[in-house]
Amino acid sequence: LLSGRETVGSSNMEDDVSLKFRQQLLLIDENLVAEDVAALKFLCTDLLPFKKLESVKSAVDIFQLLMAEEYLNEEDTFLVAELLYRIKCHSLLKKLGYTKEKVQECLHEKGRVSPYRQMLYELSENITSEMLKDIIFLLQNCLPKRRITLSALELLILLEKQGLLTENNVQVLEEICMNVSPDLLETVNCYKRAKVCNIPSFNVPWNDYKHTGEECLCLSRRTLCQSRSLHCLTLETSEYSLPHRYTGIHTANLGFSGLGSAFFLSFLQKMTSYKMDGPHRGFCLVINNVNFDRSLQERKGSCKDAGELERVFTWLGLDVRTYTDLTSWEIKDLMRTWQHLQDHKDRDCFICCILSHGESGAIYGKDEELVSIRMIMSHFTAKQCPQLAEKPKLFFIQACQGKEIQCPVYVEADARIPDLSSMQQCVSPSESIPEEADFLLGMATIDGYVSFRHIQQGAWYIQALCSKLRLLVPRGEDILSILTEVNEDVGRRVDRLGTKKQMPQPAYTLRRKFIFPIPRDPPPS
């Protein structure tokens, strides 16, 4: 009888685990849009039969197929974690008990998405709608005669079905990239160079380690060779092959030290600069939310910040537009308006500054509804805003990214006063930033922490940013060097009691140095 009870109990536990597992998958499915499902479908192309994938309508359909093929079960959910990681849905990893860092650690041993599939996905993410039209025109003799609308991923699948594109033959991609956008060619070349390294298992986080210029870093035991397009360095304790387009990830995060770090820094110094000599510099939006509808405090001192930003960026040649006290809906609508502006075509860059209260990965509208920073920035990807394709897009956010702490009277925190029991999921700046190139996100503070604003002198971060731009732009410094100085400036500041500190954090996918042309006029005082 006892044995029977144990069997029943064990069965119930298994049912509970299975139910929880399926609930997790359902929650993930509910948080994915059609574009995400298409990406998952593409990344699973090497794992599941084409015919079965063609009938997929949702992420749940994909999960069912993966379970049927025994790639996925309640005891091993890593493949789903890897897929979410690949498509940059990092906030959903927590539903499976993973973090971005944990997935990165396990990729080398457990990763299933091939370097070839990663490369194709990376390529598709950087193909704009205009580029896609050109590619389809070039390939019209290879495509079905009937008129169909293809996405970049669908086009790549079609080329694979016709045998024009394989893991060992990417010549068609090289020819397309050469004709449409040589910048795209570097993604393909880096994949080829990685294959030359002959590393049997290549599961480096491709989205994090993108490549630009002529270098590909290949680190292996007792190897030291150097050629025009391939550099191999000796690190006795490391065996990695890293295709690398610099995206603001510190050398320490890559495990570089000594010779490797020195080489990496010299590699960065060879980066070219963005073109900044057009007839118009660009637009700069300043959204300044001071007053809120319900429980959020008035952001005293913020108008000083907005005025300072307007003066400095006007001096730098930008056409500045300031908006005050916008609701969440108005912020979204404003982004859509600027997303479709044709005038971007003749501009060198785009800058957006947002001053408000905030939480992890989001800012508050005047109506006290949250707006995702990632959603705001996604309006200006190459696909959504072709006029800004391959041009630098800079976003500066002055807002808290965590719960409020008690502050002295002259220093306020840009966060909600409330209920400390509600905990926000942490979202790092690198998760807020779109996965494609040419973005920079300057955050006033690291995730989970408050940022400070003097009620008369303005926010520490914005005042330091404006000060360093005035000082260092005339010296020809690039934006990343300037933001490093901003970090140093803000890091030294404390409140009047000496107990509150702050550290800003930039994240970026810039492919080149961003250097403001030196203005003819002296900096504003």
Contact 396, 463 (CB under 8 A): no
CA–CA distance, 84 with 90 (Å, rounded to integer): 6
The first and second tokens of residue 51, run together, are 């015919």
Statement: residue 279 has pLDDT above 90: no
The first and second tokens of residue 150, run together, are 């293809």
pLDDT value for 443? 85
pLDDT value for 86? 92
Statement: residue 3 has pLDDT above 80: no
- Active-site residue among 90, 344, 357, 379? 357
Statement: residue 259 has pLDDT above 90: no
Bridge-based pairing state of the strands 411-413 and 452-454: antiparallel
**Selected residue with higher pLDDT from 43 and 196:** 43
Active site residue 407: no
Domains of the chain: 18-113 (1.10.533.10), 118-197 (1.10.533.10), 280-405+434-509 (3.40.50.1460)
The whole-number average pLDDT for the span 114-126 is: 90
**Selected residue with higher pLDDT from 102 and 220:** 102
| Percent residues over pLDDT 70 in the chain | 70
CA–CA distance, 492 with 5 (Å, rounded to integer): 64
pLDDT value for 189? 82
Active site residue 466: no
Contact 350, 283 (CB under 8 A): yes
The whole-number average pLDDT for the span 368-393 is: 92
Reference 118, options 34, 242, 215; nearest CA is 242
Statement: residue 187 has pLDDT above 70: yes
Contact 413, 495 (CB under 8 A): no
pLDDT value for 502? 59
**Selected residue with higher pLDDT from 162 and 417:** 162
- Active-site residue among 44, 177, 218, 400? 400
pLDDT value for 185? 82
CA–CA distance, 150 with 302 (Å, rounded to integer): 46
pLDDT value for 431? 54
Statement: residue 215 has pLDDT above 50: no
pLDDT value for 17? 63
The first and second tokens of residue 370, run together, are 């949250």
Q: What is the DSSP string of 389-426?
A: TTS-EEEEEES--S------TTEEESS--S-TTSPPPP
Residue with tokens 């400070």: 452
Residue with tokens 């994090």: 208
CA–CA distance, 40 with 121 (Å, rounded to integer): 10
| Percent residues over pLDDT 90 in the chain | 35
pLDDT grade, residue 416 (50/70/90)?
low
**Which are the contacts of 312, defined by CB distance < 8 A and separation ≥ 6?**
466, 469, 470, 523, 524
Reference 402, options 385, 421, 423, 381; nearest CA is 423
The whole-number average pLDDT for the span 135-153 is: 80
Reference 121, options 55, 218, 188; nearest CA is 188
H or E element in which residue 328 lies: helix 328-339
pLDDT value for 217? 38
Half-sphere exposure of 138 (CA within 13 A, CB side): 18
